[in-house]
Amino acid sequence: MPKISKRGTLMPNSPIRKLVPLAEEAEKNGKQVIRLNIGQPDIPTSDKALAAIRNLDVQVIEYSHSAGMISLRRKMAEYYKNNKIDVSYEDILITVGGSEAITLTLLTCLNAGDEILVPEPFYANYFSFATSADVKVVAITSHIEDGFSLPPIAEFEKKITEKTKGIIICNPNNPTGHVYSRKELEQIRDLVLKYDLFLLSDEVYREFVYDGEEFISAMRLEGMENHCILIDSLSKRYSATGLRTGALVTKNKQLRDTALKFCQARLSPPYVGQIAGEAALDSSDEYMNYVYNEYDHRRKFVVNALNKMPGVFCTMPKGAFYIMVKLPVDDSEKFAMWMLKEFDYQGNTLMVAPGAGFYTEGNLGKQEVRIAYVLNEEKLAIGMKCLEKALEAYPWRTTESVKAKSLV
Amino acid sequence: MPKISKRGTLMPNSPIRKLVPLAEEAEKNGKQVIRLNIGQPDIPTSDKALAAIRNLDVQVIEYSHSAGMISLRRKMAEYYKNNKIDVSYEDILITVGGSEAITLTLLTCLNAGDEILVPEPFYANYFSFATSADVKVVAITSHIEDGFSLPPIAEFEKKITEKTKGIIICNPNNPTGHVYSRKELEQIRDLVLKYDLFLLSDEVYREFVYDGEEFISAMRLEGMENHCILIDSLSKRYSATGLRTGALVTKNKQLRDTALKFCQARLSPPYVGQIAGEAALDSSDEYMNYVYNEYDHRRKFVVNALNKMPGVFCTMPKGAFYIMVKLPVDDSEKFAMWMLKEFDYQGNTLMVAPGAGFYTEGNLGKQEVRIAYVLNEEKLAIGMKCLEKALEAYPWRTTESVKAKSLV
């Protein structure tokens, strides 16, 4: 029997999805599992997108242009202009979700063996995309006690080698909810220019920034035209994760032309996802406000509930729809598995994403979990009650209490 | 400005799509371009698929399982059973078109620097997928004069090194239309087992086999359970190339488990494509027969027209909807570009895919083009007339006549 590849062996199981079999087992056994492990919202998809799908009036579902439909790209350019990001449709390549945009950028910008810097905790799949592309992720640790703000630039500089070719940031951040300030972004820009790096800025949660915080796109930083790649997706904005319609946006023409060759190989992004995505861009203010307010409300609800639990620590996330929480447990993955396998409260249990998967070193995040506040208040309330009761019942609860210095 | 990656530089432009800008220019200048360069059929998408899209009755377009929807996988397993391929739904991973299935298989089975054998001419994007995965394509040349049948196994053995990890075949073949015989497949199997290789069998044109030829899936070869990976797609079968719904099918559990980790990273295949694909599997016999007869008719029409042109040579393809044709020209890419830029016949011109892009060495295929007989007879007739007239008018027509030994 021929051997599986090394990269296949190195490839991690998704920390977000690896517990799925346990959840399925729990459900088979009659438990209700509140799934806050993954960013799959229960919020209805934009009705504009749904209507476009139901009114599809073509006879042949064709390939589109490899770069994506021009009408969609034009509409996205308009959207960006309204969001103070000055790009033309030619700067936009439509991708199969934000996922493909990241993979294409890594393949286009980095050689096998090159290194990319990422503040951790980070969206776990960055590690997977890098492994696919034979790229090494070099992490700079941010800390829950600081609200996961940008680590000192000196920490980045310490890790720069001649193989370092880029930096990935996620803003607003998944999993931490951090929104980068102008000062932080300017520090990153200076670093990028000093070492002639690429900056991948994953901004798929752009719409979800709370408490009057200002969102600043990396595309607005001066002097970064040839350095900055915006990673985007319509999935979260219009609550349509299954569309798989994302974008790679850059003013760097050589980069785009090269990425397009990879796009040509896979022929085209999904047709219906593009039609629906284009329609979604016309979503009403009413819908957008409803979605925003719903997340804002859920955020406050969850943080409030968490802060009432003894030994639990989190800071108020300023963006996206995730929160990293520190729990008084020996090992958050063991705890998450235990909740699915051994625990229920009135027939319910909770599924969360263990924190370690968002860090490069297993010990970091060992007491943390990521919670996605993507379900309605009723479900969140059950989930929070389960967490509270589970922490009381968990046999390996840590005796030393975590310093519950809330920044809320 | 930071440098683009080596693999990005190595990545070829798609020979199928690289002339698109010239075609767009020709259209701007008022010419009608008959596009036989790409496998984009004008045949209506299965009405079952279209109806499923229009009747979409969900409120949220969600991620699906990373391996694809279970209902779709079950239905596909049934379809395979009806086609004498004995697999269960667990053997099937749904992918973003056949393209992703190939990329995932290469990443899962081959290390960077490993080699894969492919009979050429081959589907040009194999080279692109291999470049993405840092895999080297080693070609074994088949010949138009032999109807592109399998080259002698000794030719394969000569090229096997310790880095050789697999073989790709496309059956029925794109671009040649060749359908592998049982004897050829058994020769491939023996080679695969002797050297402990993986066999990637791309069978997306399974439904289109003509003249009573028997199609035999590589999945039916004995002793190949851990070696064989079936690459599939619903795109061609139901005339829905934009769905982007394909599959990676294998009995090798370790391979599947590994590939699933890559699937988890990109979250899920497109939701609507899966819903539509599942419905398409219920397409009526009437529809399937209509599609089949249409291609069969077009095939005969095109081959008949080609054989009447002096100096033009092709054999009768037995499957798929492509034909490789040898033309009396100095350089088929130059000729293809000339047709778009300099030529028209009554306001029409023809777009074909230059043959060199389907070979690893530029000189091979320099007189060949691939024609996709994907448009209706009326358009094919205009296209063939254009080709005839263009060959008469082309200034660099070769004087030496090609041996027009038709095997028709």
The answer on pLDDT for A404 being more than 80 is no
Report the chain A residue with the minimal C-alpha distance to residue B42: A60
Full-model pTM = 0.95
Give the tens place of pLDDT for each residue, A300-358: 999 999 999 999 999 999 999 999 999 999 999 999 999 999 999 999 999 999 999 99
Whether residue A209 contacts residue A316, with contact meaning beta carbons closer than 8 Å, is answered with no
Question: Which pLDDT score is estimated for B153?
Answer: 97
How far away is chain A from the Cα of B198, in angstroms, using its nearest Cα?
A: 7
Please name the helix (run of DSSP H) or strand (run of DSSP E) that holds residue A129, with its range, or none. helix A125-132
Tens of pLDDT, residues B251-291: 999 999 999 999 999 999 999 999 999 999 999 999 999 99
CA A40 – CA A379 distance, rounded (Å): 14
Which residue among B45, B96, B227 sits closest to A59, beta carbon to beta carbon?
B45
Instruction: Find, in chain B, the residue whose alpha carbon is nearest to that of A193.
Output: B1
Query: Mean pLDDT across chain B, nearest whole number?
Result: 95
How large is the greatest C-alpha to C-alpha distance in chain B, in angstroms?
Answer: 65
pLDDT digits (tens, 9 = 90+) for B109-146: 999 999 999 999 999 999 999 999 999 999 999 999 99
Domain B6-44+286-393 is classified in which CATH homologous superfamily? Aspartate Aminotransferase, domain 1 (3.90.1150.10)
Distance in Å, alpha carbon of B295 to nearest chain A alpha carbon:
16
How far is residue B103 CA from its own chain's centroid? Answer: 14
CB contact under 8 A, A4 and B166: no
Would you kindly state where each structural domain of chain B is located, as residue ranges?
6-44+286-393, 47-280
Share of residues in chain A with pLDDT > 90 (%): 93
| Mean confidence (pLDDT) of chain A | 95
Tell me the chain B residues in contact with residue A102 when contact means C-beta distances shorter than 8 Å.
none
Q: Hey, which residues does A33 pair with through a beta bridge?
A: A349
Choose among B258, B132, B267: nearest CA to A123: B267
Cβ contacts of A291 on chain B, cutoff 8 Å:
none
Is the complex ipTM more than 0.90? yes
Q: Is the pLDDT reported for residue B405 higher than 60? A: no
Cβ distance of A267 and B125 shorter than 8 Å: yes
At residue B71, the pLDDT reads 98
Q: Which residues of B touch A54 (CB under 8 A)?
A: 53-56
Predicted local distance difference test score (pLDDT) of residue B232:
98
How far is Cα A350 from Cα A370, in angstroms, rounded to an integer?
12
Q: Could you tell me the pLDDT band of residue A407, with boundaries at 50, 70 and 90? A: very low
Question: Could you tell me the pLDDT band of residue A403, with boundaries at 50, 70 and 90?
Answer: low
Q: DSSP letter string over B318-380?
A: -BTTEEEEE-SBS-HHHHHHHHHHT--BTTEEEE-EEGGGGSSSTTTTTTEEEEE--S-HHHH
Q: pLDDT higher for B18 or B6?
A: B6
C-alpha distances (whole Å) from A65 to each of A89, A93, A265 are 13, 10, 12
Q: What secondary structure letter does DSSP report for B90?
A: G
Distance of residue B95 Cα from the nearest chain A Cα, in angstroms: 12
Rounded Cα gap, residues A49 and B273, in angstroms: 15
Evaluate if residue B3 carries a pLDDT over 60: yes
Residue in chain B nearest A47 by alpha carbon: B59
* pLDDT computed for residue B15 by the predictor: 75
Note whether B17 contacts A111, CB cutoff 8 Å. Answer: no
Least confident of A271-275, A399-403, B80-84, B223-227: A399-403
Q: How confident is the model at residue A400 (pLDDT cuts 50, 70, 90)?
A: low
Architecture of the domain delimited by A47-280: 3-Layer(aba) Sandwich (3.40)
The rounded Cα B301 to chain-centroid distance in angstroms is 21
Express as a percent the part of chain A with pLDDT over 70. Answer: 98
The model's confidence at residue B316, banded by pLDDT at 50, 70 and 90, is: very high
Tell me which chain A residues have a C-beta less than 8 angstroms from the C-beta of B165.
Answer: 2
Contacts of A117 in chain B (CB under 8 A): none
Q: What is the pLDDT of residue B404?
A: 42
Tell me the sheet residues that pair with A372.
A322
E runs forming strands in B3-150: 32-35, 92-95, 115-120, 136-141
Q: What is the pLDDT of residues A64-108, one digit of tens each?
A: 999 999 999 999 999 999 999 999 999 999 999 999 999 999 999
